[in-house]
Chain A
């Protein structure tokens, strides 16, 4: 079956612009995660959804970052007034449940470059 898909794959933004990154999880997966991966680093947790409810947003670096999943399927990560330090790969992952041992399935990521 289809895996996790993300769009766009690449995004170039001028500093100060708003961007929206889309994630299509595996069909039927309850849990959805967003991670940020800076160059040369491992992914870092941003936020988590269980169905449409955003249960954990402790990793969002500032109030310029906003995520939603209104119908419990597709999710959008929005970054307002982008800054150069926002340049990174944004990874989306989904799993059937949220649990310690649950496998998270990752999409290919969106590479954001802020000039």
Chain B
């Protein structure tokens, strides 16, 4: 069965530090992979998506993610975190048009 695992429930980083959020997926075919961000009281906003081509994907707000088929991973990165990046981040895989989400990683940013 298709599934998405985000091993880190909560991560705290200092402002200006680099960030990597982990995502592993289980999917039988070529995966379509997404990262969404959810701020309190707001809906999910798409950061980036991968479905073919270059395995390094650039997104909005300075985020990028790298698809590694051999590791079944799609980790999200940002070189320098801003306080406004504090939110919950969800990795998802597209399955027959629907999205299967991980449980999310909450990011806290300390000054």
Chain A residues in the interface with B (C-beta under 8 A): 3-4, 31, 33, 35, 40-45, 48, 56, 59, 91, 93, 98-109
Q: A-facing mask of B92-111, CB < 8 A → 1, else 0?
A: 10101111111110000000
15 contacts between A and B (CB under 8 A): A3-B43, A33-B99, A35-B99, A40-B103, A41-B104, A42-B103, A44-B101, A48-B98, A59-B98, A100-B94, A101-B51, A102-B97, A106-B44, A108-B41, A108-B43
Report the separation of the CA atoms of residues A99 and B100 in the bound assembly, to the nearest whole angstrom: 14
The reply to whether B103 and A41 form a contact with Cβ atoms under 8 Å apart is yes
Those of B4-20 within 8 Å (CB) of chain A: 4
Given contacts A103-B49, A109-B43, contact A45 B102 (CB under 8 A): no
How big is chain B's contact interface, by range? 20 to 34
Does more than half of chain B's interface fall in helix, strand or loop, or is it mixed?
strand
B46 close to A (CB within 8 Å): yes
Q: How far is the CA of A69 from the CA of B100 in the complex (A)?
A: 23
User: Contacts of A100 on B, CB cut-off 8 Å?
Assistant: 32, 51, 94, 96-97
Shortest C-beta distance, A33 to chain B (Å), equals 7
**Bound complex: CA A91 to CA B36 (Å):** 14
- Give the residue name and chain of the B residue nearest to A111 (CB): B41
- Cα separation A49 to B46 with both chains bound (whole Å): 21
Closest chain B residue, CB of each to CB of A46: B98
